[in-house]
């Protein structure tokens, strides 16, 4: 069996998330498996770097799968893309070492979250960002974001349903940029807890609006209490941007 | 009567162009008039800077209209936006001098055309760009584009249907940028002939592919012959970017 990796881009708007689900539910994994199994005429088991939620987008999701025959990766990619729906595309396919596992081999994942800070929502960004109308204090959010960098217990910044897992994560980097009216939150970590980015961005937006101080992050991190983090922001502003191996 | 100007953004994908048409045809002007007349309870005559075609988008189309009453422009914009469909929004509304006419007062219009130059089309740019798979020679297109700058007869770079109008136009500026796999053609002129940008970009793409030389532009411009320009590119890559007064 040959092990292949592929880089996948998808618009999450019309998917119930990445992971396949029982019943007639549209998922990225379901669409990919349908086309891969049809073209390859074999059962496929799909590894993937990030299990994105319903509505979350990906620029460079990474998957891997084992194939009986040798593939001409360039032609294979074109034939897969011709069968995939309009909202998924394979950007790249290549042979991977036999040990490669899209999830377990990943060293770092980068997510972006987009906020339009203006008094109107752009028709072009509506599906890919949220609108915040009051002027956000970018510097305060940057100051607060620094507190997330490093190794921390993120139990106050995830969905309560994952409280029993190991909630320690290593955040490598956190940048907040503002270009014109678009605020981009870019966060890198070894891996992320369920809803972690959306909880973190929600907390920072409260600070950007002046409803909380940058120092509040320290307390939330050290206490591990759910009540000390902000509201979770909607999925549509979130992109899995890159996975590093 | 008070004269108001508004800046309008729209995704042209699902419109049969800007200009209102008889029958049950969806146009930007038709949607705008419907909402404006409903909110203002009067008949509205709409001036506009650029009559964009079916499928063409706008970041900053400019319109003007005369209103009997005084408007609180901020609240007015919010109420109009709450009634407009998802693919049109008013970015700004303000009072204009009584002489202001969105079309006749415009001194300069900027259009952008987007080409993805790669071996896959991004799911996010599919509706807003065309895909060119062979590597484009950017420098040759830049060299060729310089020939358009200045005052020229553009009769070989427009739809044959407008051959009887005055076909002299002044192109102020023409830039071609490449960022990652995205090529942006940005052209500014006093005004544009019907299909002019799409014909010009089509001609440059032939040069970028090596099918024609940068010098061929001079000949096409001086001859005025339709056969010497390239094929018109699709509408979906075209944006009315800015109008200057």
Q: Which residues of B are catalytic?
A: 53
pTM: 0.93
Check if the beta carbon of residue A88 is closer than 8 Å to that of residue A6.
no
Cross-chain CB nearest to B86 (options A81, A119, A126): A126
**Mean pLDDT (10-residue bins), chain A, 245 residues:** 97 97 94 97 96 96 96 96 97 97 97 97 97 97 97 89 80 98 98 94 96 91 80 96 98
Contact flag B120-A90 (C-beta cutoff 8 Å): yes
Residue of B nearest to A13 (CA): B124
CB atoms within 10 A of CB A106: 18
Q: What is the pLDDT of residues B92-146, one digit of tens each?
A: 999 999 999 999 999 999 999 999 999 999 999 999 999 999 999 999 999 999 9
Listed residue (B80, B72, B23) closest to B46, CA to CA: B80
| B181/A contact by beta carbon, under 8 A | no
Percent of chain B with pLDDT over 70: 99
Q: How confident is the model over B212-231, as a mean pLDDT?
A: 85
In the stretch 67-96 of chain A, residues with CB closer than 8 A to chain B read 77, 81, 86-91
Query: For position B164, what pLDDT does the model report?
Result: 62
Cβ distance A88 to B126 less than 8 Å, yes or no, reads no
CA atoms of B207 and B201, how far apart (whole Å)? 10
Sort residue A224 into left (φ over 0), alpha (ψ -120 to 50) or beta.
Answer: left
- Among left, alpha and beta (phi > 0; psi -120 to 50; other), residue A180 is left
Hey, are the CB atoms on B124 and A88 less than 8 Å from each other?
Answer: no
pLDDT (mean) for B51-56: 95
The complex's ipTM?
0.91
* Per-residue pLDDT at B46 exceeds 80: yes
What does the DSSP 8-state code read for residue A119? Answer: S
d(CA A238, CA A88): 16
Structure tokens at A126: 């509506």
Q: Does B206 touch chain A (CB under 8 A)?
A: no
Residue B229, min C-alpha distance to chain A (Å): 31
pLDDT in the model for residue B228: 75
């Amino acid at each position: 069996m040959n092990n292949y990796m592929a880089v996948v881009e998808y618009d999450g708007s019309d998917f119930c998330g990445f992971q396949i689900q029982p019943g007639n539910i549209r998922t990225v994994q379901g669409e990919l498996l349908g086309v891969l199994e049809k073209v390859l005429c074999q059962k496929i088991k799909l590894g993937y770097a990030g299990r994105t939620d319903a509505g979350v987008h990906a620029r460079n999701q990474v998957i891997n799968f084992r194939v009986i025959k040798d593939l001409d990766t360039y032609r294979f990619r074109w034939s897969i893309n011709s069968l995939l729906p309009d909202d998924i595309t394979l950007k790249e396919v290549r042979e991977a070492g036999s040990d490669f596992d899209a999830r377990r081999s990943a060293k770092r994942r980068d997510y972006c979250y987009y906020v339009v800070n203006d008094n109107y929502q752009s028709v072009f960004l509506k599906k890919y960002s949220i609108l915040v109308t009051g002027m956000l204090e970018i510097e305060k959010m940057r100051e607060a974001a620094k507190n997330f960098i490093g190794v921390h217990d993120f139990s106050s910044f995830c969905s309560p349903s994952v409280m029993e897992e190991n909630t320690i994560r290593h955040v490598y980097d956190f940048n907040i940029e503002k270009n014109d009216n678009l605020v981009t939150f870019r966060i890198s970590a070894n891996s992320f807890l369920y809803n972690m980015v959306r909880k973190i961005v929600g907390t920072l937006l409260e600070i950007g609006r002046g409803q909380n101080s940058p120092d509040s992050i320290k307390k939330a991190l050290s206490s591990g209490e759910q009540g000390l983090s902000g509201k979770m922001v909607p999925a549509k502003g979130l992109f899995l941007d890159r996975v590093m191996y």
